[in-house]
Amino acid sequence: MAAAQGGDAGAYRVLLEQLRPWLLGYFRRRLPPDLVEDAVQETMAAIHAKRHTYQSDRPIGPWIAAIAKYKWVDRLREMKRSSTVELPEDLCVEDHGSAVTSATLLGRLLSQLRPAQADAIRLVKIDGLSIEEASTKTGQSASLVKVNIHRGLARLTRIVQDQDHAD
């Protein structure tokens, strides 16, 4: 690395060639097989980008191991954020048509209410928030949230009953 810092491209190439097998082994012990090559490449790119920080009076092994460790931790964080589960190809999926229809009808019903009533019903009865949480979210007092829910549900009942009688 010291020679590479001095501009010796051949020494730098040899360093990277010798480093690759060590990095492959390091990541093979720590990551799923499909992530190993990318981790090696990212680590080599990081070593290249940070080569000016290497102090030639110190051992290179711990310096490289520290960079590899940081790249490993980055991969672990990425795996946690985008964890996937492979599903079997013969997985049966139920038809969601009735759920979509129900959600559409519910949206139409709620649109016939005053916005404060629809918001209170949606937050408490559908989203599962407490009266206090809905109060904080809407800016309404807790008692007003309760009144809006009561009046909104009563209005929805009348709307549905009127539609049933019309059919």
pLDDT, residue 91, reads: 66
Residue 93 to residues 89, 97, 100, 137, 148, Cα–Cα distance (Å): 11, 12, 15, 35, 38
Q: For the domain 111-166, what is the CATH code? A: 1.10.10.10
Given a contact cutoff of 8 angstroms between Cβ atoms, the answer to whether 27 and 19 are in contact is: no
Burial class (CB in 10 A: 0-12, 13-18, 19+), 28: middle
Nearest alpha-carbon partner for 109 in 167, 153, 145? 153
pLDDT top residue among 22 and 91: 22
Percent above pLDDT 90 for the chain: 49
Q: Which residues contact 117 (CB under 8 A, 6 or more apart)?
A: 148, 149, 151, 152, 155
Residue 126: phi, psi to the nearest 5?
-105, -50
What does the domain layout of the chain look like in residue ranges? 2-81, 111-166
Of the pLDDT bands very low, low, confident and very high (cuts 50, 70, 90), residue 81 is confident
Average pLDDT over residues 55-80: 90
Q: What SS3 class is residue 164?
A: helix
pLDDT top residue among 125 and 6: 125
pLDDT top residue among 105 and 101: 105
Return d(Cα 151, Cα 139) in angstroms, integer: 18
CATH of 2-81, one of 3.30.70.1560, 3.40.250.10, 1.10.1740.10, 3.30.930.10: 1.10.1740.10
pLDDT, residue 67, reads: 94
Q: Which residues contact 159 (CB under 8 A, 6 or more apart)?
A: 109, 112
